[in-house]
Amino acid sequence: MTPTPRQRAERAGAGLPPLLLAAERVAAGVAPGVHGRRRVGSGETFWQYREYAAGDPASTIDWRRSARGDRLFVRQTEWEAAQCVWLWRDASPSMAWRSSETPPLKRERAEVLLLALASLLIRGGERVALFGTGARPSADRNTLPRLAALLDGSSGEAADLPPPRPVARHAQTVFVGDFLTNPEATLARMRTFAGQGVRGHLIQVLDPAEWELPYRGRVRFEGTEDEGAWLAPRAEGLRPAYRARIAEHTEALRAAARRVGWGFTRHRTDRPATAALLTVYHALSAARGRA
């Protein structure tokens, strides 16, 4: 029996520690969670003792600590807060494709990555939601099954890029897709999100054939989204030019992401999903380190 995407996603995420997102600027009023912010704030974990200063509420004085000396100490806790992460994956027909029997469909792999990420985030106490479905971010036990069900049900939309809907400020986004559209369009869309103060990460999922162009001989290429057809008299002759072009495309995407301060990860479907997950994990951790 082939495992469902959700099973595979949880399996892919099982090896990683709970992913803790670093938040740069978090507004007050964010729902508290287990997310230590390494700064003083409202929370339950002890953070530090500070000498009493005028203006501190008397209730914050730690009498037990203060009794050991002459001065008064205030007990401070670490600020803990949960983050909202909005996830989105490309469900266009170009994603429902694979070059041969071996690698999975690009869309399948995208969903696996998405769910694995969601699974990790929930374990880290983050709240996740599927972008564009209107569901509220949540972090309870049922979130993951609900996400899986939503992914299964929402195959109809054919947008290459996430719709420009408003997102809560300071939320995180992770967009998974092939991003084979014009990099300029992708940059423009990212800008609309970044303008709302949203940080994000792009994961580009490509089939190995889209990377290598392994075809030989006389080949008539046909698009998956009614782009037309292109007859290559000798496909192997096109290979160097194509490779340069796809590398250029990817680099353009990476540059665009960097311009808005987002992360960018490239993933091939013939590589294990864990590898991509690890990369994203590192990217998000790096973001935390910068915090």
Q: How many CB atoms lie within 10 A of CB 96?
A: 13
Binding-site member from 164, 195, 223, 272 for another protein (CB under 8 A) = 223
Taking a C-beta distance cutoff of 8 angstroms, is the pair 24, 65 a contact? no
Binding-site member from 234, 258, 271, 282 for another protein (CB under 8 A) = 234
Collapsing DSSP to helix, strand or coil, 220 comes out as strand
Structural element, H or E, at residue 230: strand 229-232
Report the site for another protein in 243-262 (rule: CB under 8 A): 245-246, 249
Of the pair 65, 249, the CB lying nearest another protein is at 249
CB of 243 to another protein, least distance (A): 10
CB of 180 to another protein, least distance (A): 5
Q: How far apart are the first and last CA of the chain?
A: 44
CB of 212 to another protein, least distance (A): 11
Of the pair 152, 236, the CB lying nearest another protein is at 236
CB of 215 to another protein, least distance (A): 5
With 0-12 CB in 10 A as exposed, 13-18 as middle and 19+ as buried, what is 50? middle
Build a one-symbol-per-residue string for 82-101: x at contacts with another protein by CB under 8 A, - elsewhere.
------------xx-x----
Question: Does 38 participate in binding another protein (rule CB under 8 A)?
Answer: no
Of the pair 113, 180, the CB lying nearest another protein is at 180
Of the pair 80, 207, the CB lying nearest another protein is at 207
Spatial distance between the Cα atoms of 178 and 196, rounded to a whole number of angstroms: 24
Of the pair 240, 272, the CB lying nearest another protein is at 240
CB of 230 to another protein, least distance (A): 5
Distance of CA 198 to the CA centre of its chain: 12
Q: How many CB atoms lie within 10 A of CB 273?
A: 23
Query: Which residues in 160-188 are b (16+ Cβ under 10 Å) and which e?
Result: bbbeeeebeebbbbbbbbbbbbebeebbe
Near another protein by CB under 8 A, which window of 24-32, 111-119, 146-154, 241-249?
241-249
Phi then psi dihedrals of residue 213, to 5 deg: 55, 70
Binding site for another protein (CB under 8 A): 94-95, 97, 106, 178, 180-181, 206-207, 209-210, 213, 215-225, 227-238, 240-242, 245-246, 249
